[in-house]
Amino acid sequence: MSHVLPALLLGGCCLLGLVLVPLGLPGLWIMVAGIVGYGWLTDFRSVGVATIGAALGLAFLGEIVEAWLGFRLARAYGGSRRAAWGALAGGLVGAATGVPVPIVGSVIGAFVGSFVGAALFEYSSSRTTGTAVRAGWGAVLGRAAAAAAKIALGVVIAVLCVVAVLRT
HEC letters along 61-85: HHHHHHHHHHHHHHHHCCCCHHHHH
Range of the domain at 75: 4-166
The residue-averaged pLDDT of 104-127 equals: 89
Q: Quick check: helix, strand or coil at residue 47?
A: coil
Specify the pTM.
Answer: 0.80
pLDDT for 21-71, tens place per residue?
887 778 999 999 999 999 999 888 888 899 999 999 999 999 898 878 877
Measured CA to CA, the distance from residue 151 to residue 52 in angstroms comes to 18
Q: How many domains does the chain have?
A: 1
The reported pLDDT for the residue numbered 84 is: 84
Tell me how far apart the alpha carbons of residues 68 and 88 are, in angstroms, rounded to a whole number. 8
Percentage of the chain lying above the pLDDT 70 cut = 98
**94-106 residue pLDDT tens:** 888 877 777 678 8
Contact yes or no for 28/165 (Cβ under 8 A): no
- Residue 104 sits at φ, ψ, to 5 deg, of -90, 0
Say what the pLDDT of residue 97 is.
Answer: 84
Is the pLDDT at 168 greater than 70, yes or no? no
Q: What is the arithmetic mean of pLDDT over 1-29?
A: 87
- Assess contact for 129 and 123: CB atoms under 8 A: yes
Say what the alpha-carbon torsion angle 53, 54, 59, 61 is, to the nearest 10 degrees: 110
Contact 115, 88 (CB under 8 A): no
Condensed to tens digits (0 to 9), the pLDDT of residues 70-95 reads 778 878 888 888 888 898 888 888 88
Torsions phi, psi for 167 (to 5 deg):
-75, -15
The pLDDT score that the predictor gives to residue 147 is 87
In 10 A of CB 113, how many CB atoms?
28
